């Protein structure tokens, strides 16, 4: 391991609902609310990373968990619509 967490925007853009640039930008904005995380706009085309050490900050962990809770909600909603 590299001691870091990667956000797989690069792969997310290939499948709904995150093939929408708007959805990836929303996720980017959510993640950037975390202390010590600051991804640039062009990160939605790549695999930006942050160190595992950042997760020791309670606020960073909270923001990350809330962000991925939103991702799961979006995925579930997309799957429900597709059926």
Write down the pLDDT at residue 2: 81
Q: Cβ neighbours of residue 17 under 8 Å, at least 6 residues apart?
A: 23, 74, 75, 77, 78
Instruction: Tell me the backbone φ, ψ of residue 72, rounded to 5 degrees.
Output: -65, -40
Residue 61 token pair: 């962990």
Q: Please tell me the distance from the alpha carbon of residue 42 to that of residue 39, in angstroms, as a whole number.
A: 8
Per-residue pLDDT of the chain (83 residues; tens, 9 = 90+): 589 999 999 999 999 999 999 999 999 999 999 999 999 999 999 999 999 999 999 999 999 999 999 999 999 999 887 66
């Amino acid at each position: 391991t590299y001691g870091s967490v990667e956000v797989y925007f690069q792969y997310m853009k290939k499948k709904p609902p995150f093939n929408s640039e708007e959805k990836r930008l929303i996720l980017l904005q959510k993640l950037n609310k975390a202390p010590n995380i600051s991804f640039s706009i062009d990160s939605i085309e790549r695999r930006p990373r942050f160190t595992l050490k950042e997760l020791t900050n309670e606020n960073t962990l909270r923001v990350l968990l809330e962000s991925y809770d939103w991702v799961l909600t979006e995925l579930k909603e997309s799957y429900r619509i597709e059926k």
